[in-house]
Structures are given as structure tokens and as C-alpha cells.
Structure 1
Amino acid sequence: MLTKAFFGLLHTLGYYSRYTSVLHHPGRITLAESFVLHFDDSETAFLEQSAVSFNYAIDYSLGYRQKAQYVVRLRGVEFLGNSGAAVLDGKVVVESVGEVSRLAKSEAFKEVSLLLPKQKKGIYTSVLHLPWAGQNNYHWFFDCLPRLYLVLENIKEPIKIIMRRDMAAYQLETLAFVAKAYPQAEVVYIGKHEKWQVEEFVLPSFVANAQSGYLPPDIGAWLRDKLWRGYGVQRGKHKKRIFISRANARTRRVLNEQALLPLLDRYGFEVVRAEELTYQQQVQLFYDAEAVIAPHGAGLTNLLFSEQCQVLELHPANLIKTHYFLLCKGLCFRYSAVVGTEGDKLENYTVDAQEVDKWLTSIAE
């Protein structure tokens, strides 16, 4: 009894130290089975290079399995406004936050913060995923929005999508674009210091794997179409070639970027700083892009909006990430990588201009 009261006090203060899984819950409905992606020799070589840089912590060269897609219908769920986690019987549901490793890394479930309970009737769902997607467009477009496909395409009853009003403007507007075509769905807003006890909660599985922007073809096509329509993209008269600069960023900068600029200019590339554009402008720009060069960073998330594109991604030798290689794999874009020197403590590095020139020559032929 004392233990129960103790945990009850911790939960009132927003602190959760235990977790549970609903992977085998009787309310689980499988919507699509898992499947395996296959890679050619050059793709496998790049994935092996990435695995080495991570000391094989993630090794997709051994195979890439797209997870099964499902929803789980749960009763008696508490939904936490400070984190986006679902709680069942006093334990955080792992599948509501991604995976156990994210539970371990995130303070969102362990901060002392008074959460005021509110009773809510009806059916609810959410793809709120904090702190990961707080201001990060990669996590928003790959960890959050794709999960709504599973709910909106399969749950026809009236359902409320829980969101926070203080999220980034592009997140609120893209959520509205996605929900617009589904009259059964309504967006409702939870406060940071609220805990909703909902009558029924539909929990969608995460779609993207760790360090992967790969989306199954049906989900990728659905998301691209909703955002193209929402932002009113129109085909421009001329295709563009763009270089995404991180010169103003603190991390992951290409230290010899200035030396690359004359080379890029010779091949018709314009320098873009994504942070200087509205999100509609970013979507339109990438829609029109036929070729993109960029150091690894969240700006490459916008490849999702390209109609058809060739991509050259720049990496430091000690941290070769696979997110956008796998995004391009799903979109059938031609992807290449140039691996530079080892990054410093801020992941800044230099690249070989001759290797960049070689790629530029290949796309000009």
C-alpha cells in the first residue's frame, strides 16, 4: 500500500520511472506486415562504412527490416502533456515514445512537474513526441506525422488528435494539412501541465526506424501529397540545383565551404540557408530541385518534398549517418556521399573538393 501511494505521489508530480509494453496487447491491430529492404553492392559498402563509424551500434549493411505497422486500442490511458507519453497502470508505454533507449535518454518522463488530471470522454490519439520533435523537423516528419496515416486511414469513428499549441507553426499547419481530408478527426490541445485520463486511446506504431528516413511507399506518397497540396506547390519553369549551407550553424559545418563555392557556382548551384526561408518556401524550393548537395543535417529532411532529385550528402569520417540515404532509397532518388575528415568535437570537418567535382561532373553528363 505504501509503495502504491509513493508511486501515486511521483506520478502526480509528473515523474515516471517504470515502463510497460503493449506490443502483445489484445487490442493490437496489425495493418501491414514487416518486410526487408535489399541493397546493391555500392549501397551495402556505404552502410558498412556507416556501421564502422558507429562501432556497429547500428549496422544496416546486415539487412534492413521495415517494422510492422499497427494500432493498439487501449482503455484507461493517461496522456502526459509535458512529453506526449501514454501511461498505462502507472507505467510509460514504450511504444508511445519510440523505444526503450529514448526512455533512458529523455528527462521528459522524470522531471518533477505538477500535472493536473482531467477526465476526457471519447476516442483520442496522438503523435506528440517530446522532446525529440519539439523544434526538429526531421523527427516531426518521420517520427510523428507518418503515424497519423495508420490512424486516419483505419479508424472511421470520431477521434480527437491531441496536440500542444506551443509547437512550431509549421508543425501545427502541416498537422492541419494532414487532418483536413478526414472529417472524423479533430485536433484538440493539451497544456504542458495537464494529464488527460481518456476513455479510449488509439496508439499508432512508429513507422521510421532509428537513423532512417525510409517510409513505406504508401505512407511516403500519402504524406508528400498532403503537404504539396497544403502548401500549394506549383511546378516551376526551371529545375534548380541547390547547396544547403550550415555556415551559420554551430555544429556539422563544412570548414572549407568557401573553397567549394566557386566550384558549385560553375555547375549552377545556388547557396541556400534553410533558416532564412518560410516553410512554404522550403517546400517549394525542394519540389523544384533536381540536385541537392548538403552536409548531414535536418535541412535534408526537405528532400521529402522533392519531386525527383539527385543527392550528394557530406559526412565527417567518424559519424556517417544513414537517415537521408534511406529516405532517398524509399523515394528512388540517386544518392551519393562524400566522406570528409574526422569531425572535431562539434562534428565540423573538411571535404575533398575533387570528390565533389567528380560528382558534379557525373550529373552534368
Structure 2
Amino acid sequence: MHALLKTLKRAVTLATGGGSHPSEPPMIMREEGVLVHRLPANTSGAVHFAHTITCDNIDTQKSYTVSASIYIPQGFAGKSIDLSLYGYRTVSGTPVDLNKRDAWQHVSATAEIPPHQHGLVPALTVDHDGTQPSSIYSKDWRLVSAPRRRSFKHVTCAELAAISPDARIIGDIPDVSVPVTPIRYGQTTKPDFPVVEYPPDGWTPRTMEFRDQKVYELHGAVIHGEEGIVTVGDHVLEETYLLASLDKIKLRWAGDGTASFECTEPTGIISKGSHHFSGYPGNRNYAHWMVDILPSIETPATSGDSALILPELYHHWQSATLDMVDTDHVRVLLKGEQTVRCEKLTISYMRLVDSGHWPHPSRLAVASRITAHVNPDPAARRRIYISRRDSGARRMVNEAEIIALAEEFGFEILTLTGMPIAEQIRAFAEAEIVLGSHGAGLSNVIFCRDGTIFCEMLVDGYVQWSMRRLASVLPLRYGCAIGREIGSEANQHDKQWRIDPDRVREMVQAALADIP
């Protein structure tokens, strides 16, 4: 049974006893479907209130969650209230808060159901002191199937291909070494104040290595939800959960080489497909969509009869750019926890060492295909400044000064939120210089012409070199200026910062002097 949803109509009180009871709260009793659970006097210890469901098609391969709304009057005399599936160990849930009185609270409990069970008994267990009679109230009882936690051996794609007949290599991606582009303008040497770099040593010459990148074919693979985690038999592929939201899927590692997470049974079967996911941010963050997911459609083995398996499309720019890249394949979109099985799945992860998921140079043809759809003027020489005043994260407190400076040098001021995607692409494709502070919108530099100047403003507590590395692959000429954090917020993305306009001016002047 894929989902069980029951509204429980009737209470069977398993406690006995008599005595007078306090009057029922009139406002509570006027609500529809409220159940009264009376606790007698002169009875101490556990008192059970249960609802019985008998059902021949309970799926014992799943967990079940019971939930209800509970009302505890101010005068309740008891030590604890527990919700459970009676007789089964609760593995997770939202407990009853005894301190919350005269108000409804939503509570839940999840338990794993062993084989050969045909009845589930959701129950409230009250530890009553027995000195005075009292009552509690409940409503909105529900019982639903829940994801079941399963353990898998975690392996890489290469390791699975070496040990299992269900995985094989079907293609090779050429090995490439790409020098990280030097900082030509602005902060060309490491500043004399502390900075936190990702990855470290950004002022030291380095090379990005694209090595041993393969295309794999997996048989009987299961793709779990919009995170795109892939399992084959009792193995889970490490590459597919590296960017997953671990809190959301409740993934846990064990010291014995296994990982477990909550998963549901497949709701559909695909005969042939290709995997295009990038964990939790893949279908929410603009940069990850542009540089992780869209370029993956360039996988050499993505054949015409293969479905594109993708996360749910939440934004207009996703469907618009996907239509620019591909109109030939059937699309299968996974939403939430939806799970499918693919009999023959193509997958390729092209990670850079120490840098995250940035596209192999061979995949950049996707950007050229997208750019061709917007017909940029090849003779245009635009100067564009990308503002983040539309973002609440990492707010630059003196951006008005920087905008005035940019306008002084002839920059157009662009705010990308709400700007049609075709106009965004055209602006970057026609730019001779791009100036902006670090953020997802700067991933549009993938549409820039070779040799375009890219000047990035960064903050000392979050010198994230990902956009510089993207500029290296394209390649672009790069400059940066470093600002300073203001405040002590724990979350990096909540911190405000300020940048010295003179540092930005020096960077821009040096960059403009480098334009023929």
C-alpha cells in the first residue's frame, strides 16, 4: 500500500475507573471531531487511549507515522503524554510539549512495522498522578505511510563498476589541465588582513586537473527524489549525495562503510534515462543550474531514445534555458521524495579537484547553444555592473557608492531578479567587462566571449574562488577586490560588508586600461 490516510473517528478508552470530571472547555467542545480522553481519579501510572485500525493491505516494508492535534488544559495533572503506534518502538517524531497549555499542538510518531502485521493501534499514553480527575483532548488523527530508513554501502561510480555487473564504463572524457587564471587587476597579492578562502591559497599559482572522468551505465538504478541520490542494489553512489541536503534526507554515515537515509519505494519505471541532478541546490540555485545541470546534458552518451531525468523545475529560467538546450528528449521530473527506477541509467560526474562541480571544458558547448538563441550583437562592447541590492544575503552596505563609481566609468547597472533570462544572457554575451560582487548571478559569465574582463568583489570572511575557477575554464581575464565584514552574525550569508571604493576604482581603472 503506497499511502494510507485515515481519519480516526472513534476513541476506545482502555482505562477504567470512575469519579467526577472537570467540565469540558466549551470552545473546545464546539469544534468538530474533538475527542475527550478522561483521566479518572484514584488511578496512577500509565493510562492508554487507543484507536484501532485493522487493514489487510498494510505495507510492512514501510514505516508509518501517526499524527494528531493535542489540547492540554491548564489544570492537567500528569507527568507525561506520549503518542505512539502501540507496541512498536517510535524511531522519530514530534513529542508532546507539556508546557504548552490551553492551546492545540501538532504531534507525531513514526515506527517501523515488522512483517505479518494486520492492525495498527495509534495510542496516547498518559502518566497520570491519580490524585485528581482531569481530561485531555485530541482531533485530526491521521495515519500515513512514511519513508523507511535503509542502509547502503557507499561507493563511487568507479568502485561500483569494478565490483558489480550492474555498472560499466561506456565512455571516457578527455583529461585536461586548466591553469587557474591569475588575478590581473585589483588585489593581485594576498591582502595584509586575514581572509577565509575556499579553496585556500588563491594567490598561489595552481592548476585544475580534470582526470579519469568517465561515463557510466547503471542497470536497475533507483533515483531518490529531487536530490537525485542514486542507489543500485545495496550500494549508494557517493557522487550523488555530496551536495544533498543531509538534514532533509536524514542521511547518516556509519563507521563500517555504510550510509543510511529515508527513502520510499519507486513509483515508476523508466527503461532508459540519463541523470541530471546536483543535490539540493541543483533546482533552486541559479548558479548550480547553469554550471552543473545544464552542461551535464552534453554527456556524450545521452542518446535520442533516453529520457532526461531531472529535478522538478521551480523557476521560469529553468524551463526557458532547458528548452534552448534540448527539445529532443522526454523529460522525467522528480519532485520532493518521488522515486523512480531506471533499467538503464547513464551518469557522469565531472568534478574538479578541490573546487566543486564546475563544467569540464568539453561541456561548454551548451553555453554557446544557449547564447545563439538570443542573437547577441557581436560588435557590442557593453560595460555591465551586476547589483545585489535585490538580495538579502551578504548585503554590501555601501553599494550606492560603488554604483556611482561604476556609472562614472560608463557601466550599465543591472539587477537580475525579474529580468527576462534572454536579456540576462544577451547582456553578458555582449559585455567587454563585467563588474559585480560574488553571487549566483555572476555564473552568467559562462555566456561571455573569450577574453572578456571579469572583476569580482569578495568579502574577507568568504573569499569563494568558484567564479574565478569558472573564468579559468572559459577563459576570461580576472580581477578582484576584497571588502571587510561588518557585524558578528554566525551565518556567513547573513553578514553585511563594506568595500573600499578606492580599491574598486583601482581595479576598474587597471582593467579598462587592458582593453585595446
The amino acid that maps onto 1:234 is: P
Distance 2:369 2:338 in 1: 31
User: Structure 1 residues 352-361 or 87-96, which shifts more?
Assistant: 87-96
Gap regions ≥5 residues in structure 1: none
| TM-score (normalizing by structure 2) | 0.60
- Higher share in strand: 2
The equivalent of 1:13 in structure 2 is 147
The equivalent of 2:26 in structure 1 is none
1:164-203 equivalences under 5 Å are: 164-180=311-327, 183=328, 185-203=329-347
Distance 1:288 1:353 in 2: 26
Distance 1:251 1:58 in 2: 23
Within the candidate set 397, 408, 421, 1:266 is matched to 408
The equivalent of 1:338 in structure 2 is 481
Q: Is the 8 A contact 2:438 2:458 kept in 1?
A: yes
By how many angstroms is 1:334 displaced?
Answer: 1.1
Gap regions ≥5 residues in structure 2: 1-58, 64-111, 113-144, 163-167, 252-260
Cα deviation, 1:20-71, whole Å, max 9, x if unaligned, reads 322231402351244333357758x96977xx74478655645432243211
The equivalent of 1:142 in structure 2 is 291
1:91-170 equivalences under 5 Å are: 91-97=235-241, 99=242, 102=243, 106-110=246-250, 115-150=264-299, 153-156=300-303, 158-170=305-317
Please report the RMSD computed on the Cα atoms of aligned residues, expressed in angstroms. 3.2
- Higher share in helix: 1
Q: Is the 8 A contact 1:301 1:324 kept in 2?
A: yes
1:147-296 equivalences under 5 Å are: 147-150=296-299, 153-156=300-303, 158-180=305-327, 183=328, 185-207=329-351, 211=355, 214-220=358-364, 222-229=365-372, 231-235=373-377, 238-296=380-438
1:79 aligns with 2:223: yes
Distance 1:206 1:14 in 2: 31
The amino acid that maps onto 1:72 is: Y
Distance 2:358 2:283 in 1: 21
Cα deviation, 1:128-176, whole Å, max 9, x if unaligned, reads 23311122111112221222212xx334462111124443222223223
1:35 aligns with 2:176: yes
User: Structure 1 residues 117-126 or 297-306, which shifts more?
Assistant: 117-126
The change in CA–CA distance for 1:20 and 1:109 in structure 2 (over 3 A counts) is farther
The change in CA–CA distance for 1:196 and 1:260 in structure 2 (over 3 A counts) is closer
Q: Is the 8 A contact 1:149 1:219 kept in 2?
A: yes
By how many angstroms is 1:327 displaced?
Answer: 1.4
The change in CA–CA distance for 1:37 and 1:279 in structure 2 (over 3 A counts) is same
Q: Is the 8 A contact 2:396 2:497 kept in 1?
A: yes
Q: Is the 8 A contact 2:224 2:263 kept in 1?
A: no
Distance 1:325 1:313 in 2: 8
Distance 1:135 1:47 in 2: 35
Distance 1:41 1:193 in 2: 43
Q: Is the 8 A contact 1:214 1:329 kept in 2?
A: no
By how many angstroms is 1:94 displaced?
Answer: 1.3
The change in CA–CA distance for 1:12 and 1:202 in structure 2 (over 3 A counts) is farther
The amino acid that maps onto 2:405 is: L
Distance 2:180 2:371 in 1: 29
Cα deviation, 1:158-213, whole Å, max 9, x if unaligned, reads 21111244432222232232223xx5x32223343432122111111134555457
> How many percent identity over aligned positions?
18
Cα deviation, 1:87-142, whole Å, max 9, x if unaligned, reads 12244311223x3xx35x52343289773523425211221233111221111122
DSSP 3-state at the match of 1:129: coil
The equivalent of 1:358 in structure 2 is 506
Number of matched pairs: 347
| TM-score (normalizing by structure 1) | 0.82
Structure with the bigger RCO (C-alpha within 8 Å, sep 6+) is 1
Distance 1:165 1:42 in 2: 38
By how many angstroms is 1:73 displaced?
Answer: 0.9
